Structure 1
Amino acid sequence: MADEATSGGGLSFKPMDQFEVKPLFGGSDIHMFTITNVTLWLALAVLAIIGLMVLTTSKRETVPGRGQSIAELMYGFVYKMVEDVTGKDGIKYFPYIMTLFMFILCANFLGLIPMSFTTTSHIAVTAVLGFGVFIAVTVLGFVKNGASFLGLFWVSSAPLPLRPVLAVIEIISYFVRPVSHSIRLAGNMMAGHAVLKVFAGFAQVAAIAPIAIIGVMAIYGLEVLVSAIQAYVFTILTCVYLKDALHPHH
């Protein structure tokens, strides 16, 4: 977790090395179709979802086992979220939102395994998710509402002189959505894992090892919580954006 400095004999922390993208099979060059550690852990996240949501529920037991209970809990949790935020109109888009939630949740939790790779710490991954949501809800907004979708930017309840100013602010905030949506997730995952590695490095120093180990345990517990919360935040914001697309008028 930490490298010894050859000159001073101390410890040289490199907490950002864990986020380096590396090819899995020979060489160091990365091309468009190179299989990397990101590819591997993205695939494992997909397999984890299949294992939890498909294999454990295939028998559809009346008295569910642990796996089926967790799958049903996740299903009910996201379904209720979509229904509460978007209304009945948004239920038809539940499969997409459920997929987003489970993918982010599984990718976040897999990144907590020692020696693993946290794919959601990379903006390249979260940006695809964020901009995918942005494009989908924008297209949906115009398809469902036509030009009246632009009413999302016109605050009719505000005094008339302020409406143009608020419209500009609304437009800017709307186009910032995919950026904040993706950076929030990547930033939180990267920061937490970097701090974990720093504390793990300090654990090699005998004088402060006990304190550092306690710190690692505390931060690890916090990271488990953050992993779940970030999946929830990303999903509920997706529901809010979907609600705006379905019901754009203030």
Structure 2
Amino acid sequence: MATEKADGGLVFHPMDQFIVKPLFGNAGDPVGMFTITNVTLWMALAIVAMVLLFVLGTSKRAVVPTRTQSIGELAYGFIYKMVEDVTGKDAIVYFPYIMTLFMFIIFSNFLGLLPMAFTPTSHIVVTAVMAFAVFFAITILGFVKHGVGFLGLFWVSSAPLALRPILALIEVISYFVRPISHSIRLAGNMMAGHAVIKVFAGFAAIAAIAPLSIAAITAVYALEVLVSFIQAYVFTILTCVYLKDALHPAH
């Protein structure tokens, strides 16, 4: 919330919610490579939620589905159609990877909306690992599938010959910027939304504007629910677009 200064004012700490802390030991202990932190916990919970939905929730499949089975089937069909429509039927073999990305991101986003929770996708390190994994996997796939022909992705053969080298340079820069924009977009949106909620929550301590603050928190929270889904969708559909470039690189 907020802390009170000596002069009677309030001090907000909206970024404190993004601090990585060890789960065991003291809060000030250094975080090493193998330290179990709050990030580790909430990523693990996102994976557990995925298992509960798709393994336990569909273990007793029926013609008339339960609510859990319906949610699982809806998510499956939604991502399957996305992969098929954006990338083509020859990309269905990569559907499990794309589906896993989407579900991990959306569960991480939604779990992060719980009180006292932590949002792993608000950290650029987490989103960068996913984005660079997509980037390297797609680049390797492009060269495995097409060899040197994959470089045709950067050569705009439909443009006038004099412009092709300039466009090729732009295409190369754009290609290598992909994982950066891919990761920053997700992390930035999640961090910004949670920080705004925390700021409005701090103002709730002031009696005169508490009703307005609560109304603002409710509105921003509802928006964050929508943003959590949209950002998972955007990350996934961009992965499909990049995969299409690897499978069909020619302009």
User: Is 2:141 the counterpart of 1:140?
Assistant: yes
1:214 matched residue in structure 2: 215
Residue by residue over 1:65-101, the C-alpha shift from the partner in whole angstroms, topping out at 9 and shown as x without a partner, is: 0000000000000000000001011000000000000
- Equivalent AA in structure 1 for residue 141 of structure 2: L
2:13 matched residue in structure 1: 14
Whole-Å separation in 2 of the counterparts to 1:221 and 1:49: 23
2:43 matched residue in structure 1: 42
- Percent of residue pairs identical: 75
What is the DSSP-based 3-state SS (H/G/I as helix, E as strand, rest coil) of the residue aligned with 1:12?
A: strand
Whole-Å separation in 2 of the counterparts to 1:235 and 1:37: 25
What is the DSSP-based 3-state SS (H/G/I as helix, E as strand, rest coil) of the residue aligned with 1:3?
A: strand
Shift of 1:144: 0.5
Whole-Å separation in 1 of the counterparts to 2:88 and 2:130: 23
User: Is 2:24 the counterpart of 1:4?
Assistant: no
Whole-Å separation in 2 of the counterparts to 1:84 and 1:129: 23
Shift of 1:53: 1.2
1:200 matched residue in structure 2: 201
Residue by residue over 1:131-190, the C-alpha shift from the partner in whole angstroms, topping out at 9 and shown as x without a partner, is: 000000000000001100000000001000000000000000000000000000000000
Whole-Å separation in 2 of the counterparts to 1:223 and 1:87: 31
Alignment of 1:99-114 (within 5 A): 99-114=100-115
Residue by residue over 1:168-219, the C-alpha shift from the partner in whole angstroms, topping out at 9 and shown as x without a partner, is: 0000000000000000000000000000000011111101000010000000
Shift of 1:61: 1.2
Shift of 1:242: 0.1
Whole-Å separation in 2 of the counterparts to 1:210 and 1:123: 34
Shift of 1:4: 1.6
User: Is 2:132 the counterpart of 1:131?
Assistant: yes
The runs of 5 or more residues in structure 2 that have no matched partner are none
Whole-Å separation in 1 of the counterparts to 2:217 and 2:7: 25
Whole-Å separation in 2 of the counterparts to 1:121 and 1:8: 33
- Equivalent AA in structure 1 for residue 151 of structure 2: L
- Structure 1 runs of 4+ off > 2 angstroms? none
Whole-Å separation in 1 of the counterparts to 2:90 and 2:2: 52
Whole-Å separation in 2 of the counterparts to 1:51 and 1:98: 15
The runs of 5 or more residues in structure 1 that have no matched partner are none
Whole-Å separation in 2 of the counterparts to 1:53 and 1:128: 24
Moved more, 212-221 or 58-67: 58-67
Whole-Å separation in 1 of the counterparts to 2:80 and 2:187: 25
1:117 matched residue in structure 2: 118
Residue by residue over 1:14-42, the C-alpha shift from the partner in whole angstroms, topping out at 9 and shown as x without a partner, is: 10000000001003121111110001001
2:179 matched residue in structure 1: 178
Whole-Å separation in 1 of the counterparts to 2:159 and 2:59: 53
1:165 matched residue in structure 2: 166
Residue by residue over 1:95-150, the C-alpha shift from the partner in whole angstroms, topping out at 9 and shown as x without a partner, is: 00000000000000000001000100000100000000000000000000110000
Whole-Å separation in 1 of the counterparts to 2:119 and 2:92: 31
Whole-Å separation in 1 of the counterparts to 2:67 and 2:9: 47
Between the two proteins, the alignment pairs up a number of residues equal to 249
1:66 matched residue in structure 2: 67
Whole-Å separation in 1 of the counterparts to 2:92 and 2:157: 28
Whole-Å separation in 2 of the counterparts to 1:42 and 1:18: 16
- Equivalent AA in structure 2 for residue 31 of structure 1: G
- Equivalent AA in structure 1 for residue 2 of structure 2: A
- Equivalent AA in structure 1 for residue 209 of structure 2: I
TM-score normalized by the length of structure 1: 0.99
